[in-house]
Structure 1
């Protein structure tokens, strides 16, 4: 838990993140952190009235269809939404609000995936589940449907990893990838993690170390399917990456974009001042609406294109 003055820097979103994890939660280990994260999301990120949800078995993986009010189920744009939580927390149900706003930005619908969590289900369980849901979505909706991969924090990294694995397995590419404050390097090699220590309302090296260890359980932290900052991105769909300029994972976001471009892919980075980690989660965050609008423009620019990286 960060000192209260950190929240003052970032307004209501900072208040939510600072107050999310109590000493009791930390004392309970990963179970306490999981409980606290879901409590925060369900308390401050409740969906707007009119959002409809439907439980579905997505190729053996539980998921939720999320449809904003008056959105027709047959709309051929689907956001495959992957929640955050450092691989140890979060749930599709807790991310309904962001999934709905992402869907609304593309005039479509979202499929929020309840991938398995660590430490009970270590790497690559989460990515395996995402790929099962992606294959199911392609088979169910057909090639006329345009799919956008999107996620926040760990979910943002998963979205990029799914794009890599889809290319390697010969699956039809998504139209684009939107990664919000991605946890892109589980070796925790980004300088900003230490440079922002004590000033990031949500993220610290100790917390990231616990999350990485729970998920990897001895696997190589530089495996590109776990840490997309080490991936080769030629032939993958374009990425739009958002992050807060002063968050601990800002270098993860920057390095991911640099790696995509250096290895033949297409990526755009937008940093927002005076924001918190994964700020689009909070609809009341000052820049959330602008970030979602930019995502909408990015997605719509991709919907009539089929060539990856174009």
Structure 2
């Protein structure tokens, strides 16, 4: 465990924050600037594309790719982010697996509230299948809000009669818009990113008055996970969203789904983005890459 590295990252994330709520444009700009500082492995190749009538970015390994596709959903509370803010995550997965990633630029709230992002994700998955990519060769992956999209897209795909992807990997996923997990209180102050107030602010834009007691926005509380593919959830002990993962893991186990709950001590939300900076990030990405390669045909 790299205690000094974790302390450096924690101190960096606790630098003084704006005292008044930021506009959506300010939030998006600041988030993009923060994620642009994350390390991207050399050699990966990017190409713009479209999938499901939405823009996306293909990330290819430096050398010949193995069969398969990682369909990636970026984080950002459903109101921020893009395939480029997640580039450190997608490129590290591609680098470790030699499997191509397609990162989707889904619609964002408040301009496009729930369920726009989920509709875009399902359309992207459907197009991959229509283009002849077998479900057994597709893995979903996502961080934060993107982790929630990965689970909800599985729900929507199953209900639409589509085959399940081979696996789903989630980094610090947001899976419970009721925010009723015990970690929402027990981790207050330990989490350098979030507060209940910050969730209230962003959730209002995403839900636009819709009920959080819904399987597609709170799958950790309400989703029937029967028939789901193997799941890997990675989360840190300092996160308000810790119990989003622990509760979903319980639901998966109860539904007979293969699930790995991977909890790392004293690391922040989406700590995997700190690859090359934090040893635990590289180790977690190694485990995620192994999980993906084990399950894709």
Residue of 30, 35, 39 corresponding to 2:29? 35
* TM-score, reference length from structure 2: 0.92
CA distance in 2, matches of 1:145, 1:152: 22
Return the offset for 1:243.
0.2
Instruction: Report if the CA contact (8 A) 1:105-1:295 is conserved.
Output: no
CA distance in 1, matches of 2:286, 2:132: 25
Instruction: Report if the CA contact (8 A) 2:71-2:138 is conserved.
Output: yes
CA distance in 1, matches of 2:12, 2:104: 24
Residue 4 of structure 1 corresponds to none
Residue 52 of structure 1 corresponds to 45
Q: Deviations over 1:142-182 (max 9, x none)?
A: 22861110011111111111111111111121110111111
Return the offset for 1:195.
1.6
CA distance in 2, matches of 1:71, 1:201: 39
Return the offset for 1:85.
0.7
- TM-aligned CA distance change 1:97 to 1:9, over 3 Å: closer
Residue 214 of structure 1 corresponds to 205
Instruction: Report if the CA contact (8 A) 1:181-1:277 is conserved.
Output: yes
- TM-aligned CA distance change 1:111 to 1:16, over 3 Å: farther
Residue 230 of structure 2 corresponds to 238
Q: Deviations over 1:20-77 (max 9, x none)?
A: x8317x53333322221111001x22422222111111120110001121243xx321
Residue 182 of structure 2 corresponds to 191
Residue of 96, 104, 111 corresponding to 1:113? 104
Residue 162 of structure 2 corresponds to 171
**Aligned positions, number:** 293
Return the offset for 1:225.
1.3
- TM-aligned CA distance change 1:211 to 1:100, over 3 Å: same
Query: For 1:81-160, what aligned pairs fall within 5 Å after superposition?
Result: 81-143=72-134, 146-160=137-151
Stretches of structure 2 lacking an aligned partner (at least 5 in a row): none
Q: Deviations over 1:250-308 (max 9, x none)?
A: 1111011111222332211010012111111111222111111111221222124xxxx
Q: CA RMSD in A?
A: 2.0
CA distance in 2, matches of 1:128, 1:16: 36
